């Protein structure tokens, strides 16, 4: 009797497992996978996914159709976590606790429809919900973005160009994904993303409204935290919500009106308006910049006077931002091509830095952090895009016609001296990792090994001379250090880094008169931004102070006072961040010595 009861119990348990577990299978028809109303095909290594229905159903289709890619990426994400926190059990345990805490904070601000999508994904793929959420939230938890966005228009149409600069996520570029979301009752939307990441950093709805995100690096005021302003849904999900509900700028205005966040720029192109705008969302406030003329463009520095000066400290006005701004304006003026897609392509693929065709330190529009380059053709409902670990603007571009679903090659990958130079540097970094322990104090033998490698390398000459100069300085060989520092300046006479390299070497050898003359030369000859002026004038104050110890002279004191006045006046035109206040305090202490 007991055996019969046990068998009956086992049958009931097994039946309940069968009842509540369901194996989802897709159909495959000539390379096009289908499941329910969803479909997926791969072209040129890129999956193109379409999901339709309510939130959970869209997530389910996503999970079933993308299961193989989701599982493969999950393994990669685990390895990235290990590189961040190490394999040591306690570190991983702490990291997991921190990760769970961050996920909980994000989820408190997530709308129900996006949480339901993630639940559907977990149901459809072979990961559990926690694992799906970890991948879905991972990029915005661990990484910051630095990007370029612009919209061009003429009488024939309007296009939206965008480079996504996102250091640290190189592995995700091997898992690109184009998703067409057809949420029931909403405007269909196409986003350019990565596998398992349902947020949108770049996308366009099928009515021709395009959006892209740039990060604004301005700090919060003293006594405040970012979380004081980040009270609404995370920005990448807000973008999807906007695209699914708006098709003109006035509707975008309404959707951002009461939205609170900090330090984002949103560039919006509108086919219906035949115009564009850039929204600054900072400190819980909204500032709208309307398109004037044939272009609106943004890097990581505000366009509005309020954002640019009142909210941004002087250090943000460096060539990291200014150079890309200036180059966008220059290219827009000089490229006369009436075909806006071709014009936008030339702009997003540019590796130029002012007069230099190839920038040795990658401050260009297309740089060593650019993991995705794209053009959204609002007028014709097409997107053109490239994904790569670096310099994506030089990669192969695909053309995707959203209406017809046709995919073709738009541009083949470019062969460029910039790419060759980058590859030589990556080879150097690999050699360095394999041969030298990180964090270890280096001796003369180490620096001589670097000099030997650099001299035989295929480095771009300016980069090579800089590296050799710094190494000679570190082993105390002043003559050789200055020889190569001067070669660096000869290679790049307008490049501010060439002068700051020499200035640092001269400081190492306490040659303060030469420091002063080099800074004076830099200010006369080189391309200098407000940030450059601030920092080299601070260096001048320090140099004059140290020169006064070596060779007392009232002229040194007079110059210190004059420079301090200039520096303070210039810094006060901008937001005084804590780091700038510390710099000014250091200068005040030097001035006070001579009062």
Residues of the chain with CATH 1.25.40.10: 432-593
Report the alpha-carbon distance of residue 171 to residue 76 in Å, rounded.
7
CA-to-CA dists, residue 372 to 177, 208, 365, 389, 429, angstroms: 11, 20, 12, 8, 23
pLDDT band of 90, cuts 50, 70, 90: very low
Task: Report, as an integer, the average pLDDT of 570-586.
Answer: 96
Residues of the chain with CATH 3.60.60.10: 143-419
pLDDT > 70? residue 293: yes
pLDDT > 50? residue 526: yes
DSSP reduced 3-state for 307? helix
Q: Nearest to residue 268, comparing CAs of 133, 175, 158?
A: 158
Confidence (pLDDT) at 22: 58
Top-level CATH class of 432-593?
Answer: mainly alpha
Confidence (pLDDT) at 168: 78
Q: What is the pTM of this model?
A: 0.91
pLDDT band of 148, cuts 50, 70, 90: very high
The share of the chain scoring above pLDDT 70, in percent, equals: 91
Report the alpha-carbon distance of residue 135 to residue 118 in Å, rounded.
10
Task: Report, as an integer, the average pLDDT of 358-366.
Answer: 80
Helices 249-257 and 235-245 sit at what angle, rounded to 10 degrees? 140
Q: What is the pLDDT of residues 432-469, one digit of tens each?
A: 999 997 777 889 999 999 999 999 998 989 999 999 99
Domain 143-419 has CATH 3.30.70.20: no
In this structure, of 269-283, 354-368, 391-405, 419-433, the range with the lowest mean pLDDT score is: 354-368
Q: What is the pLDDT of residues 466-497, one digit of tens each?
A: 999 999 999 999 999 999 999 999 999 999 99
Confidence (pLDDT) at 425: 92
Confidence (pLDDT) at 10: 47
Q: Which residues are CB-neighbours of 413 under 8 A, at least 6 positions away?
A: 394, 395, 396
pLDDT band of 5, cuts 50, 70, 90: low
Burial grade of 502 (CB within 10 A; 0-12, 13-18, 19 or more) = buried
Task: Share the mean pLDDT of the chain.
Answer: 90
pLDDT band of 91, cuts 50, 70, 90: very low
| Cβ atoms of residues 182 and 191 within 8 Å | no
Confidence (pLDDT) at 98: 57
Q: Nearest to residue 578, comparing CAs of 141, 224, 144?
A: 224
Confidence (pLDDT) at 303: 97
């Amino acid at each position: 009797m007991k055996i019969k009861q046990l068998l009956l119990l086992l049958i009931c348990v097994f039946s309940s497992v069968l009842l509540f577990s369901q194996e989802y299978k897709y159909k495959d028809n000539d390379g096009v996978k289908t499941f329910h109303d969803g479909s997926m095909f791969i072209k040129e290594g890129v999956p193109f996914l379409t999901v339709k229905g309510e939130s959970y159903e869209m997530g389910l289709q996503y999970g079933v159709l993308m299961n193989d890619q989701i599982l493969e990426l999950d393994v990669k994400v685990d390895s990235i976590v290990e590189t961040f926190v190490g394999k040591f059990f306690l570190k991983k345990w702490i990291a997991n606790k921190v990760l769970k805490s961050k996920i909980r904070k994000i989820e408190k601000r997530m709308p129900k429809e996006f949480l339901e999508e993630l639940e559907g994904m977990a149901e459809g793929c072979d990961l559990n919900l926690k694992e799906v959420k970890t991948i879905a939230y991972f990029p915005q938890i661990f990484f910051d973005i630095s990007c370029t966005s612009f919209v061009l228009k003429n009488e024939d149409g309007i296009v939206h160009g965008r480079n996504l600069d996102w250091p640290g996520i190189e592995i995700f570029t091997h898992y690109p994904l184009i998703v067409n979301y057809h949420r029931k009752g909403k405007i269909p939307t196409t986003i350019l993303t990565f596998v398992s990441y349902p947020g949108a950093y770049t996308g366009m709805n099928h009515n021709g409204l395009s959006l892209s995100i740039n990060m604004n690096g301005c700090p919060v005021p003293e006594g405040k935290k970012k979380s004081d302003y980040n009270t609404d849904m995370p920005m990448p999900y807000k973008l999807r919500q906007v695209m699914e509900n708006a098709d003109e700028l006035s509707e975008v205005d309404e959707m951002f009106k009461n939205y609170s966040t900090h330090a984002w720029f949103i560039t919006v192109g509108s086919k219906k308006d035949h115009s564009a705008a850039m929204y600054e969302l900072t400190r819980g406030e909204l500032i709208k910049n309307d398109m004037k003329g044939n272009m609106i463009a943004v890097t990581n520095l505000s366009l509005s006077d309020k954002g640019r000066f009142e909210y941004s400290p002087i250090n943000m006005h460096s060539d990291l931002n200014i150079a890309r701004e200036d180059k966008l304006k220059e290219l827009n003026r000089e490229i006369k091509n009436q075909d806006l897609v071709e014009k936008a392509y030339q702009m997003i693929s540019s590796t130029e830095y002012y007069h230099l065709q190839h920038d040795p330190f990658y401050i260009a529009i297309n740089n060593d952090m650019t993991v995705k380059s794209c053009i959204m053709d609002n007028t014709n409902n097409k997107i053109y895009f490239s994904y790569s670990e670096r310099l994506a603007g030089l990669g192969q571009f695909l053309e995707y016609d959203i209406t017809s679903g046709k995919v073709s090659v738009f541009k083949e990958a470019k062969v460029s001296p910039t790419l060759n130079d980058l590859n030589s540097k990556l080879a150097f970094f690999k050699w360095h990792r394999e041969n030298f322990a990180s964090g270890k104090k280096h001796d003369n033998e180490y620096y001589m090994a670097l000099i030997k490698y650099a001299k035989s390398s295929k480095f771009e000459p300016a980069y090579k001379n800089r590296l050799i100069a710094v190494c000679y300085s570190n082993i105390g060989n002043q003559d050789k250090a200055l020889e190569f520092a001067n070669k660096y300046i000869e290679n790049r006479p307008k490049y501010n880094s060439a002068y700051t390299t020499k200035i640092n070497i001269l400081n190492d050898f306490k040659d303060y008169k030469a420091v002063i003359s080099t800074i004076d030369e830099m200010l006369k000859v080189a391309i200098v931004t407000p940030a450059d002026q601030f920092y080299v004038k601070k260096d001048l104050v320090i140099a004059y102070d140290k020169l006064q110890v070596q060779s007392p002279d009232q002229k040194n004191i007079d110059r210190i006072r004059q420079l301090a006045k200039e520096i303070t006046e210039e810094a006060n035109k901008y937001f005084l961040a804590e780091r700038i206040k510390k710099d000014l305090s250091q200068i005040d202490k030097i001035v006070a010595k001579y009062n």
